Structure 1
Amino acid sequence: MSQIPARQVPAQPQIAVPRSLAEALDPAWLAGALAQVAEKRAITQVEEVEVIRTVATKVRFAVTFDDGETRAFCLKGLLDVDEMTARGGPTCVLEADFYGKVAPAIATRVPECMATVIDRGAQQAVTIMRDLIVDGARFCSALDPFTAEDALLSLEQLALLHARSAFLEGADWIRPRAAELAQMSYVTPDALQALLDGPRGDNLSPRVRSAQNLAAAIKELAARDGARPQFMIHGDAHAGNVFRVAPGEGGGIGVIDWQLLQRGGWALDVAYHLNAVLPCEVAEAEERRLLGEYLALMRGHGMAMPEEEAAWAQYREAVTYGYYLWAITRRVDPPIIVQFTDRLGRAVMRHDSFGLLGVP
């Protein structure tokens, strides 16, 4: 079992969660949020460095203390959003809880978290991390090309997470997301079919492009997955949720964006990850080898894993999870949606995932 790095539990100041970028960068608010870092020093200047708005906002900023020291941070949360988007607040609370409760207990490489500010009543939260970019790290884009060896590096990080699945005992707040996805009603069959009839489904067969078939497949997958040993998994491990460590710090890969942290079968993470980050032809050529490497890593961490053929069958079924996740996605840049739905849908075709799940 890999040694867990010494990570300080982030501060959890009892202050209001900011709802706007202006509030988040207010020196008085930051003085409270970063009190543990400030060590009674006043903040004399806040400089906005970069703002990235997707569903959540990520803002890189620098603060200058009254003794002249400047420190760089990154804050993530739902800022300046409409009421509909604000309903996603529970995922921000989940991510804050990951950094406060899980990150100190695992060896997976993640950003250093300085503070989490949580309003459990309103189900809103922000997370403040050290800005890794100033140290030379590079955050990948969702469309960045991965090689098979890149994927092996990221699988190593996921295995470190999965190997700590004993953490799930008593952690009921980490939920079975695949089962919940299968029961969701806000995406109607007609709405899902309309999405699949768009560009995201252009290269898929009519069988795999069918909303009815996909809904039946995710329900059967969730039922089978829930009956198998449960692991602590990332749930959304595409290339956009990965960073590359600066070469001067030893290189390597780390993982970000823990808003879909969940309990489920290991194959949900592995099948989704490989088929999201690798071009289809690379995945087809390398996925079985990479699966074997992952199983060896897990056994090396002392985890009981299925034999190769049983693992391969679970993997082939589990591709459905990632395909469903991206088939229902709407609030992401269209090129990203198209690439992931296409890659994962074609993997479902290649593996006959629907057939394995009993969907005609």
Structure 2
Amino acid sequence: MPDVSAALLPPESIDAISAKWMTAALSTNFPGTEVTSVTVGTVIHGTATKVRLLLTYNDEGHRHRLPPTMWLKAGYEPHAEQQMAVYAGETCFYRDLARTMEIGCPIAYFSYTDSATAGSTLILEDLMARNATFGNATRPISPTQAAAMLDLLSTLHARYWRDPFLDTLGWLNGGGVLLESGVPDMVYNQSNFDRMLNLPRGAFIAPELRDREKLKALLIRLLEHDRDHALCLVHGDPHLGNSFWLPDGSPGFLDWQTAMHGYWAHDVAYAITVSLSVADRRHAERDLIDHYLTRMWEKGVTELSFDAAWLDYRRHAFYALCYAYCPPELQVEEVCIANAERVSAALLDLRSIEAWGEP
């Protein structure tokens, strides 16, 4: 990728997004492209800001077959300064890894991280052009759909299983962005903890899951375990809000901001726990773990036994409790209510906390 300057970081405001700036970004990878007009469409707020852009081009842009709509993903949120490493991680994923795997993630037309400031820019495919639909925690998926999601995760995990290449990517090291960006402090600081319990979701959080100091210490232990026993590339945040589904039923994942050199059970336990209704999870989770292991064995990863994998699953289900205590600036309350109910039930059913004391 050619050298680019810090001028390619996102404009200071959404209103400042211009055809000139889009031309500078897109012509980096698509030489000769000129964006002749840009119109701001839908704006979605969350961990990062996602801005849908409607674009027109010169003849060279059309020769590159650039689409009429794209998404700019950047940090226009009040909490953006605390999330710089998260944003940069996603641009690095698209720069270094996305094109090496068949995992159906959106096309990145431009990705850039400024080494001096850690600021980043990401311009992505508009999946609505592929008639994709998007997941939401308020709409749990079926066990069959969960199996398809695990198929995708097995492809991701097996691709770089125990591969030394991941150690060469500095942005993946140190336990990944969840540990380095201070997730335990963000979720389990006293102020946030008390505030979350007093929101409607608090009614679904079991009394056994309200010891703040114990929960924070265990989360740090879990993240340090995954840092010290990293086996593969993981998505890091495979909840329903980060999923999309194509018309043929195949899933994909958005928001690769927390891609990590980590531990397979983080993704698998998180995806199952927050994606299925309580009843479906209780009925299907053992079969789903077996399904995932079968897919891994088919891809040449044969070292995982069911008993060991089941213990890992039980332990790693604990991470999803972060969603119950997620600050409201990052997720709307109806999503956190749905996840608080599912996660609280799962942690009690699986005796997830107690599992960390088992051999």
Query: Shorter-chain TM-score category?
Result: 0.7 to 0.9
8 A contact 2:192–2:327 mirrored in 1: no
Does the Cα contact within 8 Å between 2:8 and 2:24 map onto a contact in 1? no
How far does residue 173 in structure 1 lie from its aligned partner after superposition? 1.3
Instruction: Return the match for 2:142 from 137, 143, 147.
Output: 147
Work out which of the residue numbers 54, 58, 70 in structure 1 matches 2:50. 58
Structure-2 change in CA distance of 1:352 and 1:36 (3 Å):
same
- Matched with 1:345 is 344
Which of 257, 260, 264 pairs up with 1:259? 257
CA distance in 1, matches of 2:70, 2:14: 14
Q: Does 1:20 align with 2:10?
A: no
* Corresponding residue for residue 3 of structure 1: none
2:83 and 2:181 in contact (8 A); partners too: no
The amino acid across from 1:257 in the alignment is: D
Distance of 1:43 and 1:310 partners within structure 2: 54
What is the Cα deviation at residue 182 of structure 1? 7.8
Cα offset, 1:135, TM superposition: 2.6
The percent identity for this pair of structures is 26
**Is structure 2 residue 203 aligned with structure 1 residue 202?**
yes
> Distance in 1 between the 2:19 and 2:27 partners?
11
1:263 shift after superposition? 2.3
The code of the aligned residue for 1:217 comes to: L
Check 1:47–1:205 CA distance in 2 against 1; reply closer, same or farther (3 A cut).
closer
Question: How many angstroms does 1:292 deviate by?
Answer: 0.5
Shift of 1:218: 1.9
Structure 1: unaligned runs, 5 residues or longer: 1-9
Given that 2:278 and 2:342 are in contact with CA atoms closer than 8 Å, whether structure 1 keeps it comes out as: yes
**Residue 349 to residue 20, structure 1, CA distance change in 2 (3 Å):** same
Q: Normalising by structure 1, what TM-score?
A: 0.87
Contact 1:12–1:115 (Cα < 8 Å) also in 2? no
Matched length: 344
Structure with the higher fraction of residues in helix conformation? 2
SS across alignment from 1:236? coil
Flag the 1:325–1:319 CA change in 2: closer, same or farther, 3 A. Answer: same
CA distance in structure 1 between the aligned counterparts of 2:181 and 2:112, rounded to whole angstroms: 27
Superposed counterparts of 1:176-191, under 5 Å:
176-177=175-176, 179-180=179-180, 184-186=184-186, 187-189=188-190, 191=192
Output aligned runs, 1:286-297, within 5 Å. Answer: 286-297=284-295
- Show structure 2 runs of 5+ residues with no match: none
- What does residue 152 of structure 2 align with? 157
Query: Measured at CA, do residues 37 and 225 of structure 1 come closer, stay the same or move farther in structure 2, by a change above 3 Å?
Result: closer
Using the alignment, how far apart are the partners of 1:232 and 1:168 within structure 2? Answer: 8
Q: What is the RMSD of the two structures over their aligned residues, measured on CA atoms? A: 2.5
Measure, in 1, the Cα distance between the counterparts of 2:28 and 2:181: 38
Aligned to 1:87, what secondary structure does the other structure show?
A: helix
CA 1:285–1:184 in 2, change beyond 3 Å: closer, same or farther? closer
Residue 284 of structure 1 pairs with residue 277 of structure 2 = no
In 2, are the aligned partners of 1:13 and 1:32 still within 8 Å (CA)? no
Q: Secondary structure at the match of 1:207?
A: helix
- Cα distance, 1:256 vs structure 2: 0.8
Amino acid corresponding to residue 22 of structure 1 in structure 2: D
- Kept in 2: contact 1:161–1:232 (CA 8 A): yes
Q: Partner of 1:74: helix, strand, or coil? A: strand
Query: Hey, what's the Cα distance between the residues in 2 that align with 1:218 and 1:259?
Result: 19
Residue 86 of structure 2 is aligned to residue 95 of structure 1: no
Partner of 1:43: 35
Asked if the contact 2:111/2:123 (under 8 Å) is kept, the reply is yes
Partners of 2:220 and 2:68 in 1: how far apart?
47
